[in-house]
Amino acid sequence: MLQDIERYLACPHCARPLTLDGRTLRCAAGHSFDQAKQGYVSLLAGDAHTGTGDTAGMVAARGDFLAAGHYLPIADALADAAAGGPDDATTGLTADLGAGTGYYLAHVLDRTGGAGAALDISKFALRRAARAHARIGALVCDAWRPLPLLDGSADLLLNVFAPRNGPEIRRVLRPGGRMLLVSPTSRHLRELVDALGLLSVDEDKERRTDQKLSPWLTRTDRTEVEFRLRLSHAEVNEVVAMGPNAWHTDPARLAAALAELPDPVEVTGSVHLTTYR
């Protein structure tokens, strides 16, 4: 709910704190932002473009795929890491940058205290995120612009298969705060990548990510989460349609290639879970 995250919010125009007045967020400079009937609030600057956001079709595919529990090992690993130790209290704000439907944020909030801010540029995704957990507030924003959060407001930031803006992440994390980053390894969905010609993961991606984030964050831990998936052809279509492959895959070619695979097909799930401070 917006009430749970109100005290952490910053105006996207002037960076002043926002307060909730009924269903409208306002700042002292007079800027105001109305809550949509679906529960989210757009805190995009006026000249922002949402063309890179997930479409309604992509969000529907992701919602169905995640609801089936296929990526539950990732959600469980995130929740375990978020719970952390005695020095890793998350009783304040957990922000999810690129939150999508709010699936991972909801799992983390079930294990921790505090409230959650679901940040995404897709209003279609945030319609679901706003309903994913009682303590989630859903905000439309651009990951590459100043985030609509006050300085040092977040105990924890999640970033799962999503863009990351090092300077802004550092700004919104409190001193000692953490980011939990989930990124695919080169083995993730490798059976589908090879058979269907999907986008592959660069072997050097982790090193480049560390290098890009190093001016603002320090990597403190990295673990690998690997699991097996047994997917029907319909579920393979969902996993293709819910991510970047949706923009790069010809449906006819995909259908022809998929017809050559067994049904169901055994697939590898493989990600790195990295902690930064």
57 Cα distance to chain centroid: 17
Q: In total, how many domains does the chain have?
A: 1
Query: What does the alpha-carbon distance between residue 143 and residue 274 come to, in Å, rounded to a whole number?
Result: 19
Nearest C-alpha neighbor of 223 from the set 104, 77, 84: 77
| 27 belongs to a structural domain | no
| 191 belongs to a structural domain | yes
Nearest C-alpha neighbor of 127 from the set 39, 55, 66: 39
| 130 belongs to a structural domain | yes
Range of the domain at 171: 39-276
| 135 belongs to a structural domain | yes
CA 83-7-47 angle, to 5 degrees, is 105
| 150 belongs to a structural domain | yes
269 burial level (CB within 10 Å; 0-12, 13-18, 19+): buried
pLDDT at 251: 82
pLDDT at 202: 75
CA 51-188-128 angle, to 5 degrees, is 40
Tens of pLDDT, residue by residue, the chain (277 residues): 888 999 999 999 999 999 999 999 999 999 999 999 999 999 997 666 666 678 899 899 999 999 999 999 999 999 999 987 656 666 789 999 999 999 999 999 999 988 999 999 999 999 999 999 999 999 999 999 999 999 999 999 999 999 999 999 999 999 999 999 999 999 999 999 888 887 777 777 788 888 899 999 999 999 999 999 999 999 999 988 888 777 777 788 888 888 889 999 999 999 999 999 9
pLDDT at 196: 86
- CATH number reported for the structural domain that contains residue 115 in this entry: 3.40.50.150
pLDDT at 85: 63
| 134 belongs to a structural domain | yes
pLDDT at 86: 59
| 19 belongs to a structural domain | no
pLDDT at 170: 97
Helix (H, G, I), strand (E, B) or coil at 33: strand
pLDDT at 48: 61
